[in-house]
Amino acid sequence: MAFNSQAATIESSSETSPLLKSSDANRYGGSEVSSISSDSSSDLSTASTPELDAETAPRIEDVGDFSKQLPAPTHVAKTISILLIGILVAEIDGSIVMATHPLIASEFNDLANSTWLITGFALAGAVTQPLYGKLSDIYGRKAVILLAYSIFALGWGLLSSAIVGLGQSMWQVILGRVISGAGSSGMTVLVSILITDLVPIRDVAQWRSWVNIAATTGRSLGGPLGGWLADVIGWRWSFLGQTPVVAFALILCAICLPASTPKRIASESGDGSSKTAWQLLHRIDFRGAFLFGLMILAFLVPAELGGDHLPWGHPIIISLFASSIALLFIFIAVERRTEEPIIPLEIFHNRDAVLSYIILGLQGAAQIGMMFSVPLYFQITARTSNAEAGAHLFPAVAGNCIGGLLSGVFIKRSGRYKILCTFATISSSICYLLLMLRWHGNTNWLESLYIMPGGFGTGIAQSALFISLQAVVNAEHMAPAVSMMYLSTRVCMMTGLVSSSATMRQFLRIGLKSRLDELGLDATRRDKVIAKAISDVGYVGRTHGTLRQAVVGAYVDGLWYSHETSGPPEMTSGIQGAQVVKAWLSLEHHA
């Protein structure tokens, strides 16, 4: 089998390994850049991992239909530049509502459901993410990229009609966000899959660093941009202003992206005839996709509802978490009996692949916790506006960009990536340690740069761990493996955000109660102050004297504990990264 033969090749390597061996250094991750015969499965494995030395390795433009039009560097740059527009818009759209959802919901007199504007987008993205990899293997990358953009545009259509007054239901707006989220997940994951098709493995990190820059920039700009637009010209323009950009990106993709060749398997057409698009749907594991989607929803919905809407000990919360565990076991049992599973379980037989998912997920959880707490810290302690508070995230964004670019250059030149994983987690851990030691309410501009090592470490980790995954996963499973990496990161980020918010709120409540008792407030007034301080950030700006000191001090303490929540994931991923380096790529595949 191709999987076993590749496993044997990698097992005999050390970390002087997959990228330093000339045959694997020129390996392409997907099937779309290869001229694959539909007559035999052996052709597939040979085309996916060509055994060529550095001197005889073909140029990218000679390997497949994605690269027939332009010289390789120009073609890759053109293709990725077009897709970066979609990533930027998708990430901005995912975070812009964080600043505007109370205003939007108030417009429809439905403030109680405002958080579903954020939650619906994130849940739809998490549920649909695994499907895009499989669909792109069957129908080709370009067709599915256009599908993702079209779904995103459809969501925008529903949202825009509600915004301009053609629909007057809050749930229409939420539905528009859900559909947009389903398209957004494809817009982001397919770019990384496409990069593994277009370039050799040693070049992937350098090209993918631009994807990370676009994603991080969009994610960071969304909140402050939405707040600024809401303050200046109204929240509607935070959505309507993106409409021409989305339309332009869709047109560019349709016109400029070359047609792609879908992956074919011998059993697909035993009589030599090709199948229609409708017949190819039978290759999609809808049963597995449905079970996997239910499992993700059963885990994430209680994570969103717990604490604010329902107590964590509520029977509904416990039942949903228990259901997610049961669905996981059912999903595994079903996938073992499926010929083409939506997520090949062989991926999880590889220790380094699993560690790559865990480490990057923990990095993402810690990073999103910091991005939640930093703007809030400056709003509380320095009375900054939404836009100014969001601007304080710039050092982390800059660090992320620099880290991604430098790690890409390092991997391309040296072929090594494992040591970067450990360095990334050490850098991020230093960030959270500095925040805990130095941010106590009076932070100058120089100390506000302490978040830069956190972004720097995350940027390095995003590049190095993606290469770690590509180096150990069989090329036939690359698309679902990349989809799973994005999904695990998304789930961990949502969990990290919930954890940071819940920790901050809990310790804010405890600290404020203690401080108000010291001020001699009676129980009734104390409870009112606590309720207002927790539910309305603007309340802090309306307080004065000792009451303000008490509220600000309690917030600073709560945020300190939220940084402590981010610290253990970073330290855990650092330990795991050290174990990977210590193992030094003594990899084991269990097919």
Per the CB < 8 A criterion, the answer to whether 138 and 502 are in contact is no
Percent of all residues in the chain with a pLDDT value above 70, rounded to a whole number: 74
- Size of the chain in residues: 591
- The residue among 132, 45, 588 whose CA lies nearest residue 346 is 588
Average pLDDT of the residues of the chain: 75
Tens-digit pLDDT profile for residues 557-590: 888 888 776 655 555 554 444 443 443 333 333 3
Of 23 and 102, more confident: 102
pLDDT of residue 3 exceeding 50, the answer is no
Tens-digit pLDDT profile for residues 308-353: 677 778 888 889 899 999 999 999 998 888 888 888 888 888 888 8
**CB neighbours (10 Å) of residue 572?**
16
pLDDT of residue 120 exceeding 70, the answer is yes
Tens-digit pLDDT profile for residues 231-270: 777 777 777 777 788 888 888 888 887 766 665 543 444 4
- The residue among 427, 449, 425, 454 whose CA lies nearest residue 439 is 449
pLDDT of residue 126 exceeding 60, the answer is yes
Q: 289 vs 150, 283, 284, 403, CA distance in Å?
A: 21, 12, 9, 35
- Which amino acid is located at 315 in the chain? P
Per the CB < 8 A criterion, the answer to whether 23 and 491 are in contact is no
Q: How is the chain split among helix, strand and coil, in percent rounded to 5?
A: 75, 0, 20
Per the CB < 8 A criterion, the answer to whether 52 and 23 are in contact is yes
pTM for this structure? 0.73
Q: Of 40-54, 201-215, 370-384, give the lowest mean pLDDT range.
A: 40-54
pLDDT of residue 222 exceeding 90, the answer is no
Mean pLDDT, rounded, for 83-87: 87
How confident is the model at residue 168, as a pLDDT?
A: 61
How confident is the model at residue 325, as a pLDDT?
A: 93
Q: 471 vs 205, 234, 295, 488, CA distance in Å?
A: 12, 48, 29, 18
Per the CB < 8 A criterion, the answer to whether 342 and 284 are in contact is yes
- Which amino acid is located at 588 in the chain? E
Of 315 and 383, more confident: 315
How confident is the model at residue 262, as a pLDDT?
A: 61
Tens-digit pLDDT profile for residues 283-313: 778 888 888 888 988 888 887 777 667 777 8
Listing DSSP states for 266-280 in one string gives: GGGGTTSPPPPHHHH
